[in-house]
Amino acid sequence: MDFNLRVGMSQKVEIKVELKDTAVSFGSGGVKVLATPMMITLMENAALKAVDTNLPEGYGTVGTHLDVKHLAATPIGMKAYAEAELVKIEGKKLLFNVTAYDEQEKIGEGTHTRYIIPVDAFIQRTNEKLNG
């Protein structure tokens, strides 16, 4: 099946850091700076948005692997953004380079893997876990 994707597709996702986005709120640290899990969320969201709108009806992507470094802290009130670029397509496996920045510097970098899935079948298989 042709998924209408090409290497080089990219997207950017931006937020203004609020208390709800901090390590204190996520329970991942004791300081009020952008939480690593929130930075990762931005990276995953940028990757998803880079490709999902180009997929055929009924298909989506799910994240399966992240390898990232959180390089610098971002305070409440500052903008932060993540960018994802599709760098490799292996059938249904998609590899992205991901980076994150605040208004002053690069704050994160790494790679992210997503897989193309038929959404209904994926949900059905997942829900079968409830039935033992």
Residues taking part in catalysis = 36, 44, 70
Residues 31, 57: Cα–Cα separation, whole Å: 42
Task: Return the SS3 of 31.
Answer: coil
125 is in an annotated binding site: no
* C-alpha 103 chain-centroid distance: 20
Question: Is residue 63 annotated as involved in ligand binding?
Answer: yes
Q: How many residues does the chain have?
A: 132
What does the buried/exposed string (b/e) look like for 101-130 if buried means 16 or more CB atoms within 10 Å of the residue's CB?
bbeeeebbbbbbbbbbbeeeeeeeeeeeee
Bind-site residues for CoA: 63
Bind-site residues for substrate: 63, 114
Bind-site residues: 63, 114
